[in-house]
Amino acid sequence: MSLGLHDAGIEVLAGIDNEADCRATYEANIDGAKFIKHDICTLSAPSLEKRLNIQPDDPSLVFAGCSPCQFWSKIRTDKTKSEQTAFLLKHFQKFIRHFRPGFVVIENVPGLYRQKEKSILPGFFDFLKRNGYTWDDGIINASHYGVPQNRIRYLLVATRLGKEVSLPPPATNLSITVRDFIGENQGFKSIPAGHRDDDDLQHWTAELSEKNLQRIKVTPKSGGDRSSWKDNESLQIPAYRGRDNIFRDVYGRMYWDKPAPTITTRFNSFSNGRFGHPEEDRAISIREGATLQTFPKKFVFHGTNISQLARQIGNAVPPQLAFAIGQHLNSLAKSG
C-alpha cells in the first residue's frame, strides 16, 4: 500500500506493523517513510501524533488500514491463531477518531464484507457516520486495476470533506495475463526447483520432493492439474482418491493466457494452490510471485528464508492496486 500510494504522488509518512520481518524490506524501499514496529492494539493515537509530528483535523491526511485477513478468508485453515487479529478494524477506529483524517481507506478480503453479521463492519459504518464521514465500498477484482490476478478484495474509501466519494473506477477492456508478466520474454530465465543465486532479482524457487517433481512433470503445461495423474497409484494423493472435484487448483499449473490465481503467502509451494509454473517443472519463484503482485524488479525483499519472503509478498496489497487507489484519492481531493 505504501509503495503504490507513494508512486501516485502521496507523501507516505509511516507504515505500522507488528511483524519485525517487514522492517528491513520497508525501510529499504519506501523512501522517506518510517517503519513503526508496533501492535496497533497497544499503540496510542497521542503517541503516533508525537512520533510523526502530525496534527488532528488535517484534511490532507490519509489513513489506510490493511489488517491481517486470514480469519475472514475462504481458505480452510485453523482460525485460532488469526482470531486475535480478526477485529483490528476496531482498534483502527481510535486513530480515525483522534486524527479525523481527510480520507480513510480499508482493503481486506471479501469475507469481511460478506460476513457482515459476524464482523464489526456494521459498527464501523456507524462510527464513520457519527464522525461525519461519507463512503463508498464494495467488492473489487484487482485484475480490473492492472494486477494480473483474480484477486477479489473488499475496498472502502471514506472522506469527511463533504465531497462525493466513490471507489476507483475499474479499467475498461483491460486484458492482462500471466504471459504479460513472467516468462523468458519478460526477463525470467529458465531455472529448476530449488534454484538460488546471489542476484538481487531473487528469482529463487523452493525445492520439490522427488514425488512432487514426478507429479509436476506429468502435469500438462499451461493450466494442467492433478487430474492428469489421478489414476497413477504411485502419484495419487490418498486424501484426493475418488475426490477429484475438490480443491482442483492444488498441485496445478498457472495458465499462460489467463490472470494468475490470488498470490497467497504460500505461492512458492506447488502443493498449496495453482502455483506451478505454466511450463517449467517447479513452483513460481519469489520474484515471479512479486511480479504478479506488481512489485517492480528493483524492489528487493529482505528476510532470512524463502518462506519469509513469500509471506511478505503474499500479504501485501498489490502496488498497482494501491497506485490506482492513490490516483483516485488525488482526484477526489481536487474535486469541487
In a domain? residue 15:
yes
Q: What is the pLDDT of residue 241?
A: 84
In a domain? residue 282:
no
Alpha helices in 66-219 (DSSP H): 88-99, 111-114, 121-130, 210-217
Q: What is the pLDDT of residue 336?
A: 60
In a domain? residue 118:
yes
Q: What is the pLDDT of residues 120-132, one digit of tens each?
A: 888 999 999 999 9
Sign of CA dihedral 104, 108, 110, 113: negative
Q: What is the CATH number of the domain that holds 8?
A: 3.40.50.150
In a domain? residue 54:
yes
In a domain? residue 43:
yes
Beta strands in the chain (DSSP E): 14-17, 34-37, 62-65, 103-108, 134-141, 152-159
Q: What is the pLDDT of residue 163?
A: 82
Q: What is the pLDDT of residue 69?
A: 53
In a domain? residue 127:
yes
Given a cut of 50, the residues of the chain with pLDDT beneath it are 71-73, 78-85
Q: Which residues are catalytic?
A: 69
In a domain? residue 77:
yes
Alpha helices in the chain (DSSP H): 2-7, 22-29, 45-52, 88-99, 111-114, 121-130, 210-217, 286-292, 306-315, 319-334
Give the burial class of 98: count Cβ atoms within 10 A of its Cβ; 0-12 exposed, 13-18 middle, 19 or more buried: middle
Q: What is the pLDDT of residue 114?
A: 79
Cell of 289: 510471485
Cell of 96: 480515525
d(CA 168, CA 156): 10
Q: What is the pLDDT of residue 186?
A: 97
Q: What is the pLDDT of residue 209?
A: 96
**pTM for this structure?**
0.92
In a domain? residue 138:
yes
The alpha-carbon radius of gyration of the chain (Å, integer) is 21
C-beta of residue 63 within 8 angstroms of C-beta of residue 48: no
Question: How many angstroms separate the first and last alpha carbons of the chain?
Answer: 26
Total number of domains constituting the chain: 1
Determine the structural domain holding residue 56 and report its residue range: 2-173+318-334
